[in-house]
Amino acid sequence: MFSGSDCCGRSRALAFSLILAAGSLVTAGPCDIYASGGTPCVAAHSTTRALYSAFSGALYQVRRASDGATTDIRPRAAGGVADAAAQDTFCAGTTCLISVLYDQSGTGNHLTQAPPGGFQGPEANGYDNLAAAGGAPVTLNGQKAYGIFVSPGTGYRNNNAKGIAVRDEPEGMYAVLDGTHYNDGCCFDYGNAETSARDTGNGHMETIYFGDNTVWGRGAGSGPWIMADLENGLFSGASPKTNTGDPSVSYRFLTAVVKGGANKWAIRGANAASGGLSTYYNGARPNAAGYNPMSKEGAIVLGIGGDNSVGAQGTFYEGVMTTGYPSDATEDAVQADVVAAGYAIAPLTSGPALSVRSSVSLRATTAGYTTRYLAHSGATVNTQVVSSSSATALKQQASWMVRTGLAAASGGQCFSFEARDAPGSYLRHYNFELTVANSDGSKQFREDATFCTQVGLSGGQDTSSIRAWGYPTRYLRHYNNVGYAASNGGVHTFDAAGSFTDDATWAVATGFA
């Protein structure tokens, strides 16, 4: 439909993204655009929307903890936004995980729970964790949808993918990510990786990477950066170490592009909510042995490194892989389509409101424990029996000052709980145990000390469940009267499914002190 590498112009891109079908104007999806450019999608993944104008099949599958049942979430209409309401109904009163991310391209390249590789995932069988279904709410042109919130330990993979570039074959990819959710762990990747889930050498991967890892390479400033994971290196350009043309980017909605062909590759990026793509690198393969020619293997990873390194975090909304090296003009048209999709933030909290600067108490609601409140004694967090006639010291230990969520990436939407009797000390999780500690100001502390409230899982009136911002599968829970950030049916003893929803449901009231 349009030719060659002549570029670019938003008007041309927009014109290109509109096709006339049966007398009505239909917006082409990203994969319609790639196909028209001669570089069709061979994998197309999104929990938020259809990536073809005609796609009305399953976008993803969720599995709920209460009975292990699964359901597929589809677009509300062909080419449209995911039916988030169907997920909300299916998951009400329990917890849900995203169990399958379907491939819309027809190639069958679905992504499922990543198996063990060079590194073992955190599940008992070495598999990675699945993402919480409700961890990354957004709206697209006002319609609610959910992204995939990848906490460290979470990963999806397909080691038997079909049609993905191998060896030095050309390919392109883009992904829409949360540019404020990242870390320096290895490696928040989306794209082409080893079929063995093991590090088989330089040039055996080609993925989008996003984060501020500096072990291998870096861009300008302090990050985060879009880089390419080419195995045994995150590359920002020709130099294995640095490319000052690769800027730090932290748009709340970020479009990241990586493409690679015979001794050429490129990194591009944009604000996914407005404007066009900029090129951060476009040139020869890195100056290091093993990357020219490439030895791509054609498996697909999301949220992890090629060898199943699971230390990274990030949020994925949509992304594709193509066969052939897309032109810049094709990618510009895809970016225009992404902007037109209208990504915007959605509330991270629900249920009874919490007032910042108020003192609250959190009462257990599990039958037999309803006189107990979440309390701390020094660093230890447990539940204690507290009443209006308790000693002042105990009342203070069971009272928490509500603060705006310390994690920058929570966007001021969630909360932190400061100990009433120890100003500057906050409730946080560490190794998924709750503790109270002085803030060291670090990004890790602030994220570990941020919690998001939602309607109580067990459904009691005026109750809340309170999930860890950085691990939305994990909730404040008492277990043997000790405080944890626990997941429903996870690998730790304190993750036990029995009475989980009750143990993770709290009656929030005015603080004792």
In the bound complex, what is the minimum distance in angstroms from residue 389's beta carbon to ligand AHR?
Answer: 23
Q: Which is nearer to ligand AHR, 173 or 336 (CB)?
A: 173
Q: Other CB atoms closer than 10 Å to residue 240's CB: what's the count?
A: 18
Query: What φ, ψ does residue 382 adopt, rounded to 5°?
Result: -150, -170
Outline where DSSP puts E strands in 30-133. 41-46, 60-64, 70-73, 96-101, 111-113, 131-132
Q: Which is nearer to ligand AHR, 417 or 432 (CB)?
A: 432
From the list 178, 206, 307, 495, the catalytic residue is 307
From the list 194, 231, 337, 503, the catalytic residue is 231
Q: Which is nearer to ligand AHR, 298 or 306 (CB)?
A: 306
Looking at this protein, which amino acid is placed at residue 275? G
In the bound complex, what is the minimum distance in angstroms from residue 344's beta carbon to ligand AHR?
Answer: 28
C-alpha–C-alpha distance, residues 189 and 193, integer Å: 9
Concatenating the DSSP letter of every residue in 351-364 gives: SS---TT-EEEEEE
Q: Which is nearer to ligand AHR, 31 or 485 (CB)?
A: 485
In the bound complex, what is the minimum distance in angstroms from residue 68's beta carbon to ligand AHR?
Answer: 19
Give catalytic status of residue 128 as yes or no: no
The residues of the shown chain that bind ligand AHR, judged by CB under 6 A, are 186-187, 199, 229, 231-234, 305-307, 309, 366, 369, 429-432, 444, 448, 478-481, 485, 499, 503
Alpha carbon separation from 403 to 97, 383, 426, 427, 504 (Å, rounded): 29, 21, 10, 11, 21
How many angstroms separate the most distant Cα atoms in the chain?
A: 79
Q: State the residue for tokens 């060896």.
A: 167
Residue pair 155/302 in contact (Cβ under 8 Å)? The answer is: yes
Q: Which is nearer to ligand AHR, 402 or 449 (CB)?
A: 449
Which residues on neighbouring strands pair with residue 226, listed in sequence order? 210
C-alpha–C-alpha distance, residues 222 and 43, integer Å: 32
Give catalytic status of residue 307 as yes or no: yes
Per the document, the length of the chain is 513
In the bound complex, what is the minimum distance in angstroms from residue 309's beta carbon to ligand AHR?
Answer: 5
In the bound complex, what is the minimum distance in angstroms from residue 463's beta carbon to ligand AHR?
Answer: 15
What pairing do the DSSP bridges indicate for beta strands 111-113 and 415-419?
unpaired
The catalytic residue positions are 231, 307
